[in-house]
Every structure is written in structure tokens, then in C-alpha cells.
Structure 1
Amino acid sequence: MTRAPWHRRHPVAVDVAIAVVLTLVDTWSTLAGQTWWPEDPGATAHVLLGVQAAACLSLAVRRRAPLTVVAVLGAFTLLVTLLVAPLGVLAPADRGNLWAPFSTALAAYGPLFYTQRRQGCRSGGTDGADPRGRRTALVVLALFTVVVARPWELSPTVITIGLLRTAVGPLLALYFDARRRLVLALTERAERAERERHLLAEQARAEERARLAGEMHDVVTHRVSLMVLQAGALRMTAADETTRQAAEELRAAGCQAMEELRDLVGILRTAPEGDRTPSVGGFPALVAESTAVGVPAELVEEGDRSLASPVVGRTAYRVVREALTNVRKHAPGARVTVRVEYEEAQVRVTVRNTRPPEGAGAAGNGLARTGSGLGIVNLRQRMELVHGTLRAGPAPDGGFSVEAVLPAYVPTAETAV
């Protein structure tokens, strides 16, 4: 982020410096006879010079109290005017000069700029439009102009210079205030357009995910349901027990595939109500199934299963299932240890297999050539959905290790109801 300039970070110091400089300038110009200084100054003139310096120093608070600064300098100018005429206490060297110090030009800038900004900030708006504050500033500036220009003396030079002295500041203030409000309006419009663009992109992504989920559900469910029905029919009509058992296994696998499809569609769309996809409670069945097909596996669980939320449990189940499938494909005969650690903040799943026995290579069972090679990639994508991490690689003993760390709780639509 770019750091603001020094003068913006220290406005008070800038105002004090400006006030001091203008006080010195006005003091010098007064002593040089460019304003009200008399040819034969007395005690009154010197006291009045000190009062002028104090009035000019009020510019230090021009941001916080712009109307007060104008009132102070206007009161000083009116005092000088009254002392010159009608009181006659002061006799300037040149009666055609302005009695007001040069500081009045900067003071006239404040009421229409800083007052509007402060009132706009208090109201929480960006345009700073406050009719009452603007009317008050205009009335004060009108009175200030009358005091400075001395229109009752009918001096064209004094009136013209006085009008320029008090009009340039307000005109500049109106310009800068309008420019500031325009920039704020454009910035707000750009931010609103950016927010709308982000919302439209989110909506488009949600619609695309819903469309993909619907197509996947319609197409794949149709085909798998046909397989399940045909397997059920085969089980009922088969003549021998072996065929009936194979048909039943095929039907059960199809039903499980449909359940897993529902879970996948739930990730794309939202978690379906009553999702019966296996969670952490399905680990023993996975391990027993792996042992039954010739890959000895051991399950070690530490902690309370209830600490894992449903989405986390289903994701952990898929990690274990994919890891065991890879062992059967690439390391037949190896021993597998499945370790699950339930903690309050996270769930850690580790599936580690030993080196496969000599002569029991993966090429012999033909399963290594049946995979798509995307199992671990898909697992990483699924882990990203729940903000987890996955590491997979060779173990020091020559085996292979898959380690997943998931947050213990991931809110879903079903838990937010």
C-alpha cells in the first residue's frame, strides 16, 4: 500500500507552518505601509500589530474551525476600519489600501471546503451536501466581503481588490470540493461495479456447477440404474448359486456407486439431505474388505469419531478407500496400516503400506493398468474443497504413505439450517 505524502499525514503541522509564514508576511507588509500602518505609529499601532499577528495565527485551526478563523480576521479588519473612521484613532499612511491582512485570502477558502467535508463525514455521505451549512458559510463570507471591501467608501480600487481577495478562495473551494465529490462518486461507482461483477461471476459459477451436477446425475444415474436392474434380474433368473452371488455383488456395487454419485453431486451443488455415504464408521468395513481380497490391513483409531463432521468423515473415507485401492493395484501382498487420529481441531488420516513381497509385482494382477492415474489428483481437489491437505509419496522403508489432514468441522448447507 502506497504511503500518503507527508503533508497529508501531518495536516496540523502544515497549518501551523502556513499560519506562521503568513503572519510574518502580513507583519512585514503592514510595517512596509501596504495596509493600515500609520506614518507616525504610536502605542495603539503597535498593540494593533500584535492583535493582527494573533488573528493571523488563527489560521492554524482553519481546518477544524474555518468559520471561527473568518470571524476572527473579519473582526480585526472591522476594528481597524472603525479606528480609522469614524473614531479617527488611527491614521493610515495610505487610505487607499485594504486594511485586511493577506491572510484573509486563505481564510476565505475554508468555510465552503472544510465545513462541507466535516458535515459530510458526520452524515456518513460522500457528497458533503448540507444546505444549512452551505447557507451559513455563504452568509459569513458575504459579511466578510463587505468588511474587507468597504463598499461605503465608493472606492473602485478598494472594492475590486477586496472582492478578489475574498472571492478567489471560495471559488477554489467550490472547485476542489466538486472535484473531490466527483472522484468519490466515480470511486464508489467503480467499487459497486466490481462487487456486481464478482456477484455475477459467483452466480454464473453456481449455475454452471448446478448444470454439471444435474447432467452428471441424469446421465450416469440412468446408466448405473440400468446395470443395477439387470444385475437384479440376473440374480433372480440365474440357475446356479455362483452366478446369483456374482449378480448380487454387481447389484450392490451399482447401488453403492449411485450413493457415491449423490455425494459427488452434493459437493457440486449442496450436500443432499439424508446423505448415507459411508463416513468414519465405514473404516472397519473397508479394512475388512481389503483383508478379504488378500491385502492385510490394520485399523488404528485414536480419539472420538464424533469430532469429525459429516463432510470431513466422508472425505476421510474416500482417502482411505483410494489408498487401499492403490495398494491392491500397485503393491499386492503388502501389509497396510490405517491410522486415524481424531482431535478437536483436525482429523489426521495416514495409510502406510510396506514394501510388497518379492515376486508379487503389480504387473502380475493386471490392475495397475486399469486406473486412470487421477485418483490422487481427484483426492487433492476434494481436499481443497474442505480446506485440507494431502501428501502422498514413498516411505523410507520402501513402501508408500498417504497422509491427509482435515479440519475437524466444515460447515455445510445441512448444518446451517
Structure 2
Amino acid sequence: MTPRRLPPPLLDAALVVVALLDVWVNLDTHEPLRLAFALAAAFSLFLRRRLPLLTFLLTLPAVLLSDAIFAALAALFTLASLTRRRTLLAVCALVFTISDMTSWPSPNFDLSNTSTLITLGYTAATAAAPVFLGQLVQARRDLSLRLAQISEARDHERLLTAQTVLAVERAQLAREMHDVVSHQVSLIAVRAGALQVDARDAEVKEAAATIRRLSVQTLDELRHMVSVLRASGGRPTELTPQPSLADLHRLVESSGIEAELQTDLTDGLPPTVQRAIYRTVQEGLTNVRKHAPGATATVRIRQEGGAVRVTVTNTAPNRPALPLPSAHYGLIGLRQRAALLGGTVTSGPMADGGYELRLELPAMGTP
């Protein structure tokens, strides 16, 4: 767990307090000039983040006139952690060393004395310590920034890889849809057209015409979906216009079964709610056509208070259903769509042998 850092204002205040303690230990109140410069150096630490070089210069008189050097060391550390000008840091460290070695107003800087050289070495090391520490903090900050950039680049590369894989899968799916599904739907449309021409019975002609019309419509939608899938990685391709409540009458009339639509809704509902209603009715009528041959269906759509209720019911079939493949993905998709809008989808057989599909949604499409 990463330790929590002190807020910058609190840390600056703590440094000022330590600098004041340094002044209290090393200075006497009977030396007003030295005390004034030392106090100015201590309080100048509040400027160290915004004006690090000026702060260091303001602390130098205290170093020159007294032994209160903590403020100058703190200012030198801050300057080293914020600047990349190493020549400037070397000059500042040298100035600090000379100022600390000089006893003002009577300087005594005799390099011929061994003790002076030793003191000079210790003082230079004292000046170099905050410089190196500040540079280390700066390097650590740069390294953290670099690691963050590398992590961001890696995440972006991972996203691009995933998008590439998805594009390949979509292209493969587009090929399968074009080569298999579209081909078979085209054959259905051709055979239905031939049946429409050759048949003599009116009902057979009508059924063949309906099959042909639905096949052509399905083929158009499949071709558009193929173009959407193949456009992955390029400019976004707009989907076909999404259905609304205005399309329900045409859906019921072209369903190929005897169905009645009862609704009092207007087009004022959100588009997502309208699409959910349309897809529910579409799935219900498709299931009636597949699994209840000869049955009649009733579609009821009502808005009660803040909820919309849709029911698709059918009577019992009057002849056996063809064994068509079904994985119930349609109902699963309806439930997922309804759940996203805060609603529910239920379905099940009725007592008279029929079947009911029910959708309940908030009118605004939110939970």
C-alpha cells in the first residue's frame, strides 16, 4: 500500500517550523540583524515551489551571517528537484559553501590552514547532499511519468490488438454470411418466385409472394450487415433505419399469419423503447408462424401510468408444426434488451393451448 503524502501547504508549514527551530537554537535575540535575516529565510520557504531560485537567494544572507542554515538547505533541495540546469546547481552549491565558510562581517577564509580545508570539505558535502537528493527525487518523478506513459502505450497496443482480432473475426463472419446465408436466401427467393408463377391456387400464390417478398427484404438486410461488418476499422457505417411504432402495422400485415394489432401508443416514446416493442412483436409473430401453424395472433400494446405493456398471444395450432431448428436466442436477446431498459420479458403456454409473450418496460426506458 502506497503511503499517503502530506499536502504541500502542510509540508511547507512543517519546513518553516523546523527552520524557526533552527533559528531559535543558533541565534540570540540580542542580535536583531542576524535574527531578521534568519527569520526572513525561514518564512521564504513558503515560496520555494513557485520561486525556488529566489527562495534560495533569500536564504543566503542567513547563511552568511549566522549558523541557521536549514532554510538554505531546504531551498537548495527544492531547486535541485525542480530544475534541470546542473551548472546552476553547482554554482548555488558553491555559493552556499563559501557563504557558510565565511564569518561575516570579519571573514576568515585561510585555505593554508588544514582545519579550514577539512571544514571546507564538510561544508561542500553538506551543500552537495540536498543537490543530489533533489536530483534523485526529480529522476524518480521522471521515471514514474515514463512508466505511466509506457503503461498507457501498452494499454493502447492491447486495445489495437483486440480491435485487430475483432476486425478479422468480423471479416470472417461477413464472408460466411455472404457465401452461405445470402446464397441460401437468394435460392429461397428464386424458388418462391417460380412457385408464384407456376401455382394455380390463389392461396399458394399469395404464400409464395409473401415468401419471396420476405426473402428479398432479408437479403437486402443481410447485404447491408455484411457491408457493416466489412467496414470495421474504417469509417463507421450507418445502420439501416431502425424500426419504430409507425412500422408495426406493416409488420403485422406482412407476418404471413392472421394477426390483429391493438394499440393506443403514440410516437412520443424514446426510440430505444419503440425498438424494443417492435422487436418483441416481431419475435412473437415469428414464433407463432414457426411453432403454431394455423393459429391466429393478437398483439396488444398499452401504456398504463409510467409503464408500457406488450402482449403477443396466439391460439392453439390447428396442424402440426414443422421441425424447424431453434436455440431460443430470440427470446434471450429480448430479455437482455428489456433488462437494459429496466423492463422484463416473460413467456409461456396458456390454458387454452396457446402461447403468450409479454414485455413490460418503463415508458422512459430507464429503471
TM norm structure 2: 0.74
Q: Is residue 304 from structure 1 mapped to residue 267 from structure 2 by the alignment?
A: yes
Q: Per the alignment, do residues 322 and 267 of structure 1 end up closer, same or farther by CA in structure 2, a change over 3 Å counting?
A: farther
Q: Secondary structure at the match of 2:311?
A: strand
- Of 79, 84, 91, which residue of structure 2 is paired with 1:139? 91
Counterpart-to-counterpart distance in 2, 1:272 and 1:100: 72
Counterpart-to-counterpart distance in 1, 2:241 and 2:62: 87
Q: Per the alignment, do residues 168 and 375 of structure 1 end up closer, same or farther by CA in structure 2, a change over 3 Å counting?
A: same
Q: Is residue 366 from structure 1 mapped to residue 320 from structure 2 by the alignment?
A: yes
* One-letter amino acid matched to 1:5: R
Counterpart-to-counterpart distance in 1, 2:230 and 2:129: 63
Residue pair 1:263, 1:275 contacting (<8 A) in 2 also: yes
Count residues in correspondence.
343
Q: Per the alignment, do residues 353 and 276 of structure 1 end up closer, same or farther by CA in structure 2, a change over 3 Å counting?
A: closer
* One-letter amino acid matched to 2:346: G
Q: Is residue 190 from structure 1 mapped to residue 144 from structure 2 by the alignment?
A: no
- What's the counterpart of residue 22 of structure 1? 19
Shift of 1:275: 4.5
Counterpart-to-counterpart distance in 1, 2:202 and 2:293: 32
- Of 110, 114, 121, which residue of structure 2 is paired with 1:153? 110
Q: Secondary structure at the match of 1:302?
A: coil
Gaps of at least 5 residues in structure 1 are: 32-41, 81-98, 117-128, 409-417
Once the two structures are superposed, residues 277-322 of structure 1 have per-residue CA deviations (whole angstroms, 9 ceiling, x without a partner) of: 86544311333456x8444x223253337x876x986665332111
1:8-407 correspondence runs (5 A): 9=7, 11-30=8-27, 43=30, 45=31, 47-79=33-65, 99=67, 101-113=69-81, 115-116=82-83, 129=84, 131=85, 135-150=87-102, 152-154=109-111, 155-238=116-199, 244-262=205-223, 264-265=225-226, 268=229, 275=240, 280-288=245-253, 293-295=257-259, 297-304=260-267, 316-326=277-287, 329=291, 336-339=298-301, 350-353=309-312, 361=316, 365-367=319-321, 370=324, 372=326, 373-380=328-335, 388=341, 391-393=344-346, 400-403=357-360
Gaps of at least 5 residues in structure 2 are: 103-107
Identity of aligned residues (%): 29
* One-letter amino acid matched to 1:393: T
Shift of 1:400: 4.2
Please, what is the CA RMSD of the aligned residues?
Answer: 4.2
Counterpart-to-counterpart distance in 2, 1:215 and 1:156: 87
* One-letter amino acid matched to 2:219: M
